[in-house]
Amino acid sequence: MKNFCYLVFTSWILGACATEKSPLSVEELSISEIHQAFLTKKYTAEELVEAYILRIEESDSLLNAISVINPAAIIRARQLDQEFVKTGKLRPLHGIPVLVKDNINTLGLPTTAGALALADFIPKTDSFIIKELEEAGAIVLAKTNMAEWAFSPMHSESSTQGTTRNPYNLDHVPAGSSGGTGAGIAANFGTIGLGTDTGNSIRGPSSHNALVGFRTTLGLISREGIVPLYLRNDVVGPMTRTVEDAVRMLDVIAGYDEKDPITANSNGKIPASYQTFLDENGLKGARIGVFRTLSENDPHPEISNLFNQALEDLGKLGAEILDSVEVENFAELRQNQWCGTFKQDLEDFLQTYVKRDSMSRLEDVIRVGTRSEFAKSRLQQFSSNQRQEQEDPCGDAFTDPRRIAFRQAIEKTMDSLNLDALVYPSWNHPAAKIDRFQQEYRGDNSQIIAPHTGQPAFTVPMGFVSGNLPAGLQFLGRMFDEGTLIRLTYSYEQGTNHRRSPK
């Protein structure tokens, strides 16, 4: 093979002498690995984006994880390459391709929430979180499929794209509602991903796809420009293959946004960098409480075995394990925490961002219709107000007496035992089969605490059960104590290395 030397007359230089390169593998690439490759001129951001797009085009027909590939992604990558040649500096997420859940406003791309009512809605501005990511150098590579209107924690089926499959076993669900991001990041269709979580929707798909999923403290990250489910519970956050990559994202997206007033609660509570908590020895001396109230609620035997092995591993890595921790009045406090604000929250979004007289109310959404029977039943439920109204108003995690009492009971237990975190399986059962998702939906522990108390809860890979199905271990922490959870989850991840790619 001959070498061809040439001059490049653009504002960026790939090299004075180039040889034919072998295909770029994007398997399990991390942010730090990509940045090292940029620095050593192993490949460019443009070549990286092209490699991811090729992988999507070759493999997504199996998964149906991607809603749309960003046609401007390669142009954006080229601009970042030019910037790097000119400055010699990399931004925090320079050239990093991100998969974005299809309920997050992204300039120039459809934001459909999986619904026919928004099938042609293209936002005129980016959401706050997309602006932050792009300012840090990230590239929006594609939007991802989701459970329509984020209704389902069980599966990810939309009217716009259909059903997403689990890359580890195509007969099974990736969970919902951020199933497209979960399946896409697991299958290496992008480097990092964004999901939203009302009750389960970051942590559920992360645990079902051998990923790291951060549901951060309610109020740490802005939800501006995101189609809501129940805004009082909604968070947005990282879905990644490693704790470090999730932390690098968190450094960029955490902080106050005047358009999301609840983020004022984060002022003064965000460290200069969360990366300082990435400590391989972070479990040494930690006190971990085992919350068997959840873990022993009819668990699948293989999940139970993985969880008990995880407890052993935590101990071997230096943690002190306090078994069978109980929260006083837990069974009572967890009741009546849900408050269905979908109609009001959705109509606020439609009137603020969509701005069409013909699409401003829930009735307009129902008139357009849906291809999903599951979504249809939920829309009918909200329309007919079948849900019993709460006697007290629905409040946020900082003002609602029910939510505060629930959180205080958990914090009291943690404080009395000097615990760094509580742990339990993210799911007590493996991923359900797609054709039986309603019958096999069991063991979703993510819905029960953090969405109501506002506390941070992170899931990390815990291993695999029969059928090559992943399981996740969940760490629950105190409000705005993400640093402690990062230290614990990173140490566990580095000490066990459960993550592996689907084949």
Q: Which of 185, 199, 201 is nearest to 113 (CA)?
A: 201
Catalytic residue among 67, 101, 426, 446: 101
Which one of 177, 295, 446, 491 is the catalytic residue? 177
Side-chain-side CA neighbours of residue 216 (13 Å) = 31
Measured CA distances, 351 to 223, 227, 362, 478, 502 (Å): 16, 12, 11, 35, 42
The first and second tokens of residue 136, run together, are 């840090």
177 is catalytic: yes
* H helix runs in 64-178, sequence order: 73-87, 128-135
150: nearest Cα among 195, 99, 183, 212 = 195
Give the number of other CB atoms < 10 A from CB of residue 383: 13
CA–CA distances in Å: residue 134 to residues 311, 368, 403 = 39, 34, 35
Question: Are 428 and 307 spatial neighbours (Cβ–Cβ below 8 Å)?
Answer: no
Cα–Cα distance for residue pair 68/447, rounded to 1 Å: 29
Q: Which of 152, 156, 158, 201 is catalytic?
A: 201
Nearest to 337 by CA among 417, 418, 395: 395
Helix (H) or strand (E) holding 56: helix 45-63
Q: Give me the residue label for tokens 């925090």.
A: 92
Positions marked catalytic? 101, 177, 201
